[in-house]
Amino acid sequence: MFQTSPSSDAISEVYETAVARNAGEPEFHQAMHEVLESIAPALDEHPEFLEAGILQRIVEPERQVMFRVPWTDDKNRVQVNRGFRVQFNSALGPYKGGLRFHPTVNLSIIKFLGFEQIFKNALTAQGIGGAKGGSDFNPQGKSDAEIMRFCQSFMNELYRHLGEHTDVPAGDIGVGGREIGYLFGQYRKITNRHESGMFTGKGTGWGGAEVRTEATGYGAVFFTEEMLATRGESIEGKTAVVSGSGNVAIYAIEKVQQLGGRAITASDSSGYIVDEAGIDVDLLKQIKEVERLRIAEYAERRTSARFISGGSVWDVPGQIALPCATQNELSLRDAEALIANGVEAVAEGANMPCLPDAVHAFQQAGVLFGPGKAANAGGVATSALEMSQNASRQRWNFSDSEDRLHNIMRGVHAAAFEAADRYGRPGDYVVGANTAAFVKVADAMLAQGVI
C-alpha cells in the first residue's frame, strides 16, 4: 500500500488504525493516504517525528463538532439540517478554513477538507491552522429570507467555538458574500462584539479584503504560471479547459485571459459549455453570480458557445486543465483524454478534484500537476491577509492585495518545488507540497509538546 522505506511500517499502521477508527469515511481515507504515502522520505530523515507520535496526532482532529440546525422555510414549515465544524490542527495558528453548504456534506467530506487545510495553510506561511465546516443545507432555490434564517440558526451553535484567536471561518461551496453577511451578523448579535477578524470573505465595505473573491481562482493560475515557467513556458497563447462556474472557476478563467490565454469551458451539474472565442467573463458573472442561473443560459445568450448536457468537459482539448468544481470530478478516463489531447499542465482549483489514478497518469505522462493544497492556497492566503488588515485596521487596495497574493503563490510554488527536489522526487509537486507542509507542522507540534 505504501512505498517501502524505513518508516513505511509505521505509516501503514497509523493509516490502518485511522481507517478503522473513522469507518465509512472514504474521502477522509483518500486524503490521508495521499499525504501519508508521500511523506516517507521526510519521516526517514526525521525519526523524532515518529518517536513523538506526530503521525497519530496529525490524523486525529483536535476537536469535532456536529450539531442540529433547525429553521423555518417561507411556508413556516420546520426544516432540520446537520451542521459540522472539524478543528483539525492549530499548531501554526488559529484554525482557518471555509464553511460549505451543499447537500453532499457529511462528516467524511468535512474531515477530508479539514485535513487538507492543515497542509494548505502551512504552505502559505501565514501562521494559520487547519479546519473546515459546513452543513448539508442546499442554498439552491432558497429565498434570501430562508438562507438568512438558516445561517442564523447555524451560528446559534457554532459561535461558541469561534473567535479571531481561536477559529476563523470563511466561505466555500454554497457560502458566498450573502451567507457570510448573515453568519457574521448573527455572531455579532450573539456576542455583542464586532470581531472583524473572526470571519473572512466579508464585504469590502465592512472589513473585507480586496481580491478575496478572486483569490482562489487567481492563485491557481499564478501557480500554473510558476509551474510552466520551470519549463520555459507561459500561459500566453495557450487554451485552458476549466470545470465549474462558481467563484473559483470564474476568476481562474478571468486570470487566464488576463495573462494572454484563452479559457473556453465552464460547467455546472447540468452540463458544460464550450466557447471557442473564449469565455465572456462578464456574461458568465451575470448569469452565475447575479441571476444564479444554470450554465446552459450562457449558450442561449452567446452565439459562439454551445452547451453539452452529457459527456465530460475533459474531452475538450486544451494545453491547461483547471478542475475547479468539486472533489473527485476528474477520473482516469478523463486524464487519459486530456493527455491524448496534449495537456501540458493541470492545477487543482478545487479540493482533491482528481482521483488518485488520474494524478498518477498525469505524472507518468510528464504533465505538470499542481495539487490542490498548493495550487488553490490563494483563497486562504488572502483570508489571512484580510485577518491582518482587520487586526491592524488597515486597508490595502486591489493592486497591492493582488501583488501580495502573487508573491505568496510564488512562495508556495517554491516550497513545493524545492522540497520535491530535496526528497528525491524532482518535479513531483504532490510529494513536494506534502513534505514541505508536513515538516513545518510537525516541527511546531514537536516544539509545543504532547497536547
Q: Is 434 annotated as a binding residue?
A: no
Taking Cα atoms as reference points, which of 120, 11, 22, 106 lies closest to residue 55? Answer: 11
Pairing between strand 320-323 and 239-243? Answer: parallel
Residue 100 is given by DSSP the state E
Active-site hit among 75, 111, 132, 373: 132
Taking the CB of residue 183, how many other CB atoms lie within 10 A of it? 26
- d(CA 353, CA 343) in angstroms, rounded, equals 17
CB count, 10 Å around CB of 190? 13
* 96 is known to lie in a ligand binding site: yes
Render the burial of 331-341: b for 16+ CB within 10 Å, e for the rest: beebbbbbbeb
- Annotated catalytic residue 132: yes
Q: In what order do the strands lie in the sheet with 305-308?
A: 265-268, 271-275, 305-308
Separation in Å, CA 363 to CA 2, 174, 349, 360, 371: 17, 32, 18, 5, 11
Cβ contact 96:121 at 8 Å = yes
d(CA 335, CA 63): 36
Residue with cell 442561473: 293
Asked whether residue 120 is marked as a ligand-binding residue, the answer is yes
317 with 309: CB under 8 angstroms?
no
Between CA 112 and CA 27 the distance in angstroms is: 6
The radius of gyration computed from the CA coordinates of the chain, to the nearest angstrom, equals 21
CA 184-190-191 angle, to 5 degrees, is: 90
Known binder of ligand: residue 22? no
Name the 3-class secondary structure at 131. strand
H/E element, 278: none
DSSP state of 24: T
| Measured distance CA(356)–CA(30) in Å, rounded | 8
Q: Tell me whether residue 247 is annotated as binding.
A: yes
To the question of whether residue 203 is assigned a binding role by annotation, the answer is no
171 marked as binding residue: yes
CA neighbor of 365 nearest in space, from 398, 391, 403, 332 = 332
How far apart CA 189 and CA 278 sit, in angstroms, is 45
Task: List the binding residues for substrate.
Answer: 96, 117, 120, 171, 383
Q: Which residues are catalytic?
A: 132
Task: List the binding residues.
Answer: 96, 117, 120, 171, 216, 247, 383
Task: List the binding residues for NAD(+).
Answer: 216, 247
